[in-house]
Amino acid sequence: MKTLKTYKLLIWEFELKKTPKNLNFSDKLNFDISKGKMMEESLFYKRVKKLGEDLGKSFNQIEKELGYSRNALSNYKTKTMPSAVRLLELAEYFDVSPRYLLGMDEMCENSREKNSFTEFLFENLDKNQKLEICKLSQIWMMHELKES
């Protein structure tokens, strides 16, 4: 009896055989069969790749330093987007803004030159969230003053 996993593997092998013969294996994985052409690398992936090359680091080195699983960065090659946490981690690692990594800004500005990480987060809160943070800050300050 064939399992679902076996059927998925058979379908994948069949689709892989439809790709042009002159492509190597990794290129076959990035070939869009429905369109008959290579899938284009995402802008996010291109920017992460370039920033890594500028630092003289491979994806494997970056993944190890950030504690990511192997090939985690390669998964962003074809239009997959990172989680918000991973986006912020990578922006901080490369010292660029998250907007640059996402392609929303053309200039590769150092995020620390423009704003601190805390300022970046605060700017993206709505008015009620900002008021709540101010209240919590006041409570914390009063508590600190009583203790000292």
Residue that the structure tokens 């192997």 belong to: 70
Q: What is the pTM of this model?
A: 0.50
Percent of the chain topping pLDDT 70:
65
Evaluate whether 82 touches 73 at the Cβ level (below 8 Å).
no
Q: Three-state SS for 107?
A: coil
Tell me: pLDDT of 75 over 80: yes
pLDDT exceeds cutoff 60 at 7: no
The whole-number average pLDDT for the span 122-133 is 86
Q: What is the pLDDT of residues 15-50, one digit of tens each?
A: 545 545 554 544 444 544 444 444 578 888 889 999
